[in-house]
Structure 1
Amino acid sequence: MGDRAMSVVDGGAPRIAVLGAGHAGPAIARVALAAGYRVSIAASGDPDKIALIASVLVPGAEPRWAADAVRDADIVMLSIPLHRFAAFDPDLVAGKIVVDTMNYWPPIDGVQELFEDPRYGSSEIVARRLAGATVVKTLNHIGYHQLEEELSPVGSPGRRALGVAGDDPGAVAAVADVIERVGYDTVRLESLRAGRLLQPGGPVFGASLRRSEFERALSTEAA
């Protein structure tokens, strides 16, 4: 990981850049802001084009050019439409912790050749392309409309759990801390490969489960 990514692992206060201003990106930005994080948001072009949308949908988030938002961020939330990922510049996020919130769901998005290799989960494919970044998978298995509705304080009965998967334990810990501060318990998966269980069709995709239920669903599937 890069120096800034390491600062998060070492306990620094992270800044978050959200790449994507569609449905999921603004929802992620809102809950991060509500949790006290400094948040910037970027789309594929001029930030002036999303300034009005941002002021209405994500008040408090700073619309920026993607390169500027990523440069100053500790954690990058990648929430672009999946069909645009093939054209995404890997150098943009080199040295960063990148949270892959995307899903490959052919019935919805159509067939994407980049993600058709059955040897790899979708986040493994993302990580192979973004080889200079540290990729963590989460937030893909909860609907953007649920993200604000189902969060709750630490210790709340029935608090929903989300999975956090990655190959780098430090990055997983940093991202899990964000998810827990936002309002969810976390279940940490030891690898991006294990993150396949979080994908569409997996045992926890779209399911509102407490931590014990989440862990049981994963262990049953793995068995």
Structure 2
Amino acid sequence: MDGDQAKIGVLGIIGAGRVGLVLAKLARAAGYDVLIAGSGDPARIAGTVEAVAPGAVAGAASVVARDADAVVLALPLPQHRTLPVEALRGKLVIDAMNYWWEVDGLRSDLGDLRTTTSETVQALLTESRVVKAFNHMGYRDLDEEARPAGTPGRKAIAIAGNDARDVARVTRLVDDLGFDPVVVGPLPAGIMLEPGAEAFGADVDAAELRAMLERFPTSQRGIMVARARAREV
């Protein structure tokens, strides 16, 4: 797939919090058409959206999902069951959500180390194609660190997904938004990007991000994951 084929036409974002707004801002700066949904009446966020990401259009989540070519999920993870499942049917869905146990509480459905939160989202969105990206870097770093391709020390964003064509499209998006893409493997490899892993919160270049990922199996988190999955066998 060449660069033109990989480019997403209309980018939808469900979640108009800090991460969602920053991604809308970056996408508009990169020339993307952007649709963004909050949790209620689109009119409530329209002014903020226009101020932060001029040209982005606020809409209902179902409309954003229907009209976008690919949709970023930037909601608190426990709200994933409110997603417009039917409107997302057949769509590329980019999961930028995280399970924050300090905020979300201890939940066996989200904290099971035998799987990943993105696989949990994929299990809900059975007719969508989920790729994990944009979850491990804080919104301030996303906002401040975007740089043109080729800039020395450009920061990196990791991507995990099962389908090569979808990963290529997300790779193009990451690059366009100002970061070096690092593909870590299929969707289950996203465990290395979740809270508790060294790469979570990483604001580093591609070489250092790859080094963090290589250290995961021998890290405390990696050992915990391996033990949990060994018990499943």
Q: 1:189: which partner in 2?
A: 184
1:30 and 2:29 are equivalent in the alignment: no
| Residues 134-213 of structure 1: pairs in structure 2 closer than 5 A | 134-213=129-208
**C-alpha distance 117-204 of structure 1, shift in aligned 2 (>3 A):** closer
Q: Give the alignment partner of residue 46 of structure 1, picking from 41, 46, 58.
A: 41
Q: 2:93: which partner in 1?
A: 98
Deviation at 1:147, TM superposition (A): 0.6
Residue identity over aligned pairs, in percent, reads 39
Q: What SS class does the counterpart of residue 179 from structure 1 fall into?
A: helix
Deviation at 1:98, TM superposition (A): 0.5
Verify the 8 A CA contact 2:141 2:203 in the aligned structure 1: no
Q: 1:3: which partner in 2?
A: none
Distance in structure 2 (CA, Å) of the matches to 1:52 and 1:113:
38
Deviation at 1:163, TM superposition (A): 0.4
Distance in structure 2 (CA, Å) of the matches to 1:194 and 1:156:
28
Q: What SS class does the counterpart of residue 160 from structure 2 fall into?
A: strand
Verify the 8 A CA contact 1:169 1:190 in the aligned structure 2: no
1:118 and 2:119 are equivalent in the alignment: no
Distance in structure 2 (CA, Å) of the matches to 1:99 and 1:68:
17
1:78 and 2:77 are equivalent in the alignment: no
Corresponding letter in the other structure for 1:200: P
Q: Give the count of matched residue pairs.
A: 217
Q: What SS class does the counterpart of residue 208 from structure 1 fall into?
A: coil
**C-alpha distance 111-90 of structure 1, shift in aligned 2 (>3 A):** farther
Q: Deviations for 1:45-92, whole angstroms, at most 9, x for unmatched residues?
A: 321222122222222101112222222211101111222123333223
Alignment RMSD, CA only? 1.9
Verify the 8 A CA contact 1:54 1:63 in the aligned structure 2: yes
Q: Give the alignment partner of residue 5 of structure 2, picking from 2, 10, 30.
A: 10
Q: 1:57: which partner in 2?
A: 52
TM-score (norm 1): 0.90
Verify the 8 A CA contact 2:77 2:99 in the aligned structure 1: yes
Verify the 8 A CA contact 1:163 1:189 in the aligned structure 2: yes
Verify the 8 A CA contact 2:12 2:35 in the aligned structure 1: yes
**C-alpha distance 47-53 of structure 1, shift in aligned 2 (>3 A):** same
Deviation at 1:13, TM superposition (A): 4.8
Distance in structure 1 (CA, Å) of the matches to 2:94 and 2:207:
24
Verify the 8 A CA contact 2:7 2:173 in the aligned structure 1: no
Q: What SS class does the counterpart of residue 167 from structure 2 fall into?
A: helix
Verify the 8 A CA contact 1:16 1:75 in the aligned structure 2: yes
Distance in structure 1 (CA, Å) of the matches to 2:44 and 2:143:
25
Q: More displaced, 78-87 or 142-151?
A: 78-87
Gaps of 5+ in 2: 219-233
Corresponding letter in the other structure for 1:204: A
Distance in structure 2 (CA, Å) of the matches to 1:86 and 1:39:
23
Verify the 8 A CA contact 2:28 2:56 in the aligned structure 1: yes
Deviation at 1:105, TM superposition (A): 1.6
Gaps of 5+ in 1: 1-5
Deviation at 1:113, TM superposition (A): 4.4
